[in-house]
Amino acid sequence: MGVGVVDLRTAFAKLLPMRVICELFGVEGPDRQALCAAIDTTLGTSVPADEMARPRTR
């Protein structure tokens, strides 16, 4: 049996809160993916300021 690396942040810590938030607000399907992408961009630590502001205008 091989030993692999598991990124717990990507696998659980990021997905679960986003799933809960989307379910609470009734966000489904493509809208959920768009919201997740916008939040990733806005909260990213390596994103330039102009790119970080872009999701707020959508």
The answer to whether 42 and 21 have CB atoms below 8 angstroms apart is: no
CB proximity list for 39: less than 8 A, separation 6 or greater? 18, 55
Q: Which two tokens stand for residue 51?
A: 């790119």
- Which residue ranges make up each domain of the chain? 28-58
Please give the average per-residue pLDDT across 48-56, as a whole number: 74
pTM of the model: 0.53
pLDDT tens digit string along 10-47?
A: 777 778 888 888 899 999 988 998 888 888 777 777 76
